[in-house]
Chains A and B, each alone.
Chain A
């Protein structure tokens, strides 16, 4: 936190090196988070890019009210959410096109994103309903608190905790059930 305060202070005063440092400090975490939410590395990087462009534009007036990592993670999660929503909408609008598309959990690039050994887990995550996946990923990869996730999803904290629990149970079942993950 101390370091973040320091970086934000410098960032607000135009020290671009602070921005480089902020990016280098959090880039892997943010890409991980976005990739786990979107199950697409290229889209994940686009989301992180857009978040940083927005962050750069806030220079001089950015006010840190919590942790910087938490703030950036929330931005990434929000953008990933919008991206997923528009994908789902597009899918329902263009039924023909979607019929030929692979569902998330069948995406061949999962191993490429997270490495071979985590392929099973990433595959299992991709099979979760979107809200459950989001709750699990934001909590475990993003380090976000339940109340923050609840605020973001626009539901009660109990609902988020339920989604998280169901998500974990389903992951357990998927990984133990030798399903094709």
Chain B
């Protein structure tokens, strides 16, 4: 006797598989699709997007250090110094805090999701050492044992990547605010919170280059940032893309804060190694990279990564751009700021290929390297290498960095 419950189960079990022919048809349609004109793909993400979606492009961009969003801040910082008493005091106050909890909402499309983000800074206060993020109770990302995990509750899958891949450096603290202070469109408005009567300072700034505007609210008494809004337009119009209305500061956060209990039945798997399609054009430039003729892939990785760090240490911007063509558009000023922030003085070791993948250009390799900073600390940084075959023969380029481990063992 078939019971209704059984029937429900059987219907749910019904499974027709897509044929190879359909796969081929659709993959071909995708490949042939004309690239849509709006929001062209790019290796960069804005700060709001990074925080909100916790989206990890194949770059934690440790080397370049600052995020693309911060790039605008840095770039503008160079041309318009405009100090503010409130921000200076805030910067000073923030120096003692190494833990942050930000809660609010993110509106990536038409729908708004709650977001909670816990961050821990390293001892220098410049880099994110650990994080845990929950987006709408639907997914989470966190760090554990120097790896980054992404949990998708719908698919019951956890994707693992080596290193800390949250692209949010420098740490949203004094250094970031110091950059903000010199933002060209930086404006300060004083007022009172109508609910509490407390004196507030509102700071607004706009990034015309990136279609992004920010509104930051500071408490005058505590000097702390109490709310933050990010719009994906320069006019602060519409629902903010990101709206953190609760920001809590901690001297530090215990490691247990970043624990995430993976639900039973979840499949844990490696995050596939990929690069953005938008990087491919830059990486196919035959003037970039090094020849790999006569070398094994391991040897090629070793060689190009050593040269890459050497260019970083020597502030050799043209060599850096040649080795990493995805940085070709970055200005000398931006690279200088990034290299300053990293303060790399020595490359200690380049490891073997740990993960592989492929792009339309050819094979990809993820390779760890160990570098020493000015303060003596050692950081392990993963680098993605793209191999390609051109008319000039086999060669490879650095695609980007991808994740880091602070205070690594030599």
A141 contacts the other chain (CB 8 A) = yes
How far apart sit A36 and B16, CA to CA, in the bound complex (Å)?
9
Interface string of A51-82 (1 = CB under 8 A from B): 01100110111011111010000000000000
B153 contacts the other chain (CB 8 A) = yes
B355 contacts the other chain (CB 8 A) = no
A residues in contact with B83, CB < 8 Å: none
Within 8 A of A (CB), among B1-23: 1-4, 7-8, 10-19, 21-23
Within 8 A of B (CB), among A33-50: 35-36, 41, 44-45, 48-49
Q: Are A67 and B154 in contact (CB under 8 A)?
A: yes
Q: Are B277 and A141 in contact (CB under 8 A)?
A: no
Q: Are B136 and A17 in contact (CB under 8 A)?
A: no
Selecting from B27-35, B168-176, B294-302, B321-329, the interface stretch reads B27-35
A residues in contact with B276, CB < 8 Å: 10, 15, 17
B138 contacts the other chain (CB 8 A) = yes
How far apart sit A57 and B37, CA to CA, in the bound complex (Å)?
11
Q: Are A4 and B277 in contact (CB under 8 A)?
A: no
Q: Are B11 and A14 in contact (CB under 8 A)?
A: no
How far apart sit A115 and B18, CA to CA, in the bound complex (Å)?
13
Question: Known: A31-B22, A114-B15. Contact between A60 and B38, CB under 8 A?
Answer: yes
How far apart sit A156 and B225, CA to CA, in the bound complex (Å)?
50
Q: Are B10 and A121 in contact (CB under 8 A)?
A: yes
In the complex formed, the residue of A with least CB distance to B359 is: A17
A residues in contact with B14, CB < 8 Å: 32, 36, 114, 118, 121-122, 141
Please tell me the size bucket of the interface on B: 35 or more
How far apart sit A136 and B7, CA to CA, in the bound complex (Å)?
11
B residues in contact with A25, CB < 8 Å: 155
B210 contacts the other chain (CB 8 A) = no
Q: Are B29 and A53 in contact (CB under 8 A)?
A: yes
B residues in contact with A6, CB < 8 Å: 53, 55
A168 contacts the other chain (CB 8 A) = yes
Q: Are B40 and A2 in contact (CB under 8 A)?
A: no
B residues in contact with A140, CB < 8 Å: 8, 11-12
- B15 CB contact (under 8 Å) in A4, A32, A45, A168: A32
How far apart sit A2 and B58, CA to CA, in the bound complex (Å)?
18
Q: Are B39 and A60 in contact (CB under 8 A)?
A: yes
A residues in contact with B4, CB < 8 Å: 168-169, 172
- A31 CB contact (under 8 Å) in B16, B27, B151: B16
- Distance of B23 from chain A, by nearest CB (Å): 7
B361 contacts the other chain (CB 8 A) = no
- Distance of A72 from chain B, by nearest CB (Å): 12
A13 contacts the other chain (CB 8 A) = yes
Question: Known: A8-B109, A15-B276, A28-B17. Contact between A2 and B27, CB under 8 A?
Answer: no
- Count contacts between A and B, CB distance < 8 Å: 175
A residues in contact with B110, CB < 8 Å: 63-65
How far apart sit A25 and B29, CA to CA, in the bound complex (Å)?
17
A176 contacts the other chain (CB 8 A) = yes
How far apart sit A31 and B20, CA to CA, in the bound complex (Å)?
12
In the complex formed, the residue of A with least CB distance to B140 is: A2
Q: Are A27 and B2 in contact (CB under 8 A)?
A: no
B337 contacts the other chain (CB 8 A) = no
B residues in contact with A137, CB < 8 Å: 11
In the complex formed, the residue of A with least CB distance to B18 is: A27
- Distance of B115 from chain A, by nearest CB (Å): 10
Question: Known: A27-B23, A32-B16. Contact between A1 and B33, CB under 8 A?
Answer: no
How far apart sit A28 and B15, CA to CA, in the bound complex (Å)?
7
- A1 CB contact (under 8 Å) in B13, B15, B36, B136: B136
Q: Are B36 and A4 in contact (CB under 8 A)?
A: no
- Distance of A164 from chain B, by nearest CB (Å): 11
B139 contacts the other chain (CB 8 A) = yes
Question: Known: A27-B23, A172-B4. Contact between A136 and B11, CB under 8 A?
Answer: yes
How far apart sit A26 and B368, CA to CA, in the bound complex (Å)?
34
Q: Are A52 and B26 in contact (CB under 8 A)?
A: yes
How far apart sit A2 and B56, CA to CA, in the bound complex (Å)?
12
Q: Are A17 and B277 in contact (CB under 8 A)?
A: yes
Q: Are B15 and A60 in contact (CB under 8 A)?
A: no
Q: Are A15 and B7 in contact (CB under 8 A)?
A: no
B144 contacts the other chain (CB 8 A) = no
**Interface residues, chain A, with chain B CB atoms under 8 Å away:** 1-6, 8-10, 12-17, 19-20, 23, 25, 27-28, 30-32, 35-36, 41, 44-45, 48-49, 52-53, 56-57, 59-61, 63-67, 69, 113-115, 118, 121-122, 125, 136-137, 140-141, 168-169, 171-172, 175-176
Q: Given A5-B108, A8-B109, 10 more contacts at CB 8 Å?
A: A2-B150, A5-B139, A14-B41, A27-B22, A32-B14, A52-B26, A69-B154, A118-B13, A136-B11, A140-B12
The 4 closest A-B pairs by CB, nearest first: A2-B139, A60-B36, A1-B138, A14-B41
Q: List 26 A-B contacts (CB under 8 A).
A: A1-B113, A1-B138, A2-B138, A14-B277, A15-B41, A16-B33, A16-B277, A17-B274, A17-B276, A20-B27, A28-B18, A36-B16, A41-B16, A45-B21, A48-B18, A49-B26, A59-B35, A59-B36, A61-B36, A64-B110, A67-B154, A118-B10, A121-B7, A121-B10, A122-B14, A140-B11
